Amino acid sequence: MNIIKVMDYAEMSDYACDFLMNKMENLQKPVLGLATGSTPEGLYHRLIEKKVSFRNVVTFNLDEYVGLDRKNPNSYYYYMNDKLFNHVDIEMDKVHVPNGSATNLEKECHDYEEAIREAGQIDVQVLGIGVNGHIGFNEPGTAFTSRTHIVELDVSTRQANSRFFDSMEEVPTKAITMGIDSIMDSKEILLLISGHSKAHAVARLLEGEINEDFPASVLRRHKNVTIVVDEAAMSEVKENK
Ligand code: PGA
Q: What domains are there in the chain, each with its CATH number?
A: 2-236 (3.40.50.1360)
139 is catalytic: yes
121 backbone φψ class: left, alpha, beta (φ>0; ψ -120 to 50): left
Q: Given this model, what pLDDT does residue 241 score? A: 63
- Interatomic CA distance for residues 135 and 225, integer angstroms: 14
pTM beyond 0.85: the answer is yes
Of the residues 63, 108, 185, 230, only one is catalytic, namely 63
Residue with CA at minimum distance from ligand 1 atom 2? 37
Q: Residues near ligand 1 with C-beta < 6 Å? A: 37-39, 128-130, 134
- Interatomic CA distance for residues 157 and 137, integer angstroms: 9
65 CA from centroid of ligand 1 (Å):
14
Q: Which residues 6+ apart lie within 8 Å of 43 measured at CB?
A: 13, 16, 17, 20, 126, 192
- The residue among 189, 184, 186, 191 whose CA lies nearest residue 218 is 184
Q: Given this model, what pLDDT does residue 34 score? A: 98
Tell me the residue type at 66: V
- The residue among 25, 28, 6, 30 whose CA lies nearest residue 191 is 6
- Bridge-based pairing state of the strands 149-152 and 225-230: unpaired
Best substitution site from 129, 131, 135, 190 to test ligand 1's pocket, by max atoms within 8 Å of Cβ? 129
Alpha helices in the chain (DSSP H): 9-25, 41-49, 76-83, 105-118, 155-161, 180-184, 199-207, 231-234
Of the residues 113, 123, 139, 236, only one is catalytic, namely 139
Q: Which residues 6+ apart lie within 8 Å of 80 measured at CB?
A: 34, 36, 59, 61, 95, 97
89 is catalytic: no
Q: Which atom of ligand 1 is nearest to the CA of 129?
A: 9
138 is catalytic: no
Largest CA distance in the chain: 51
3-state SS assignment for residue 117: helix
Ordered per-residue pLDDT tens for the chain, 241 residues: 999 999 999 999 999 999 999 999 999 999 999 999 999 999 999 999 999 999 999 999 999 999 999 999 999 999 999 999 999 999 999 999 999 999 999 999 999 999 999 999 999 999 999 999 999 999 999 999 999 999 999 898 899 899 999 999 999 999 999 999 999 999 999 999 999 999 999 999 999 999 999 999 999 999 999 999 999 999 999 877 6
135 CA from centroid of ligand 1 (Å):
9
Burial 76-104 (b: 16+ CB within 10 A, else e): bbbbbbebbbebeebeeebbbbbbbbbee
134 is catalytic: yes
39 CA from centroid of ligand 1 (Å):
6
Q: Given this model, what pLDDT does residue 240 score? A: 73
Q: Which atom of ligand 1 is nearest to the CA of 127?
A: 9
3-state SS assignment for residue 155: helix
53 CA from centroid of ligand 1 (Å):
26
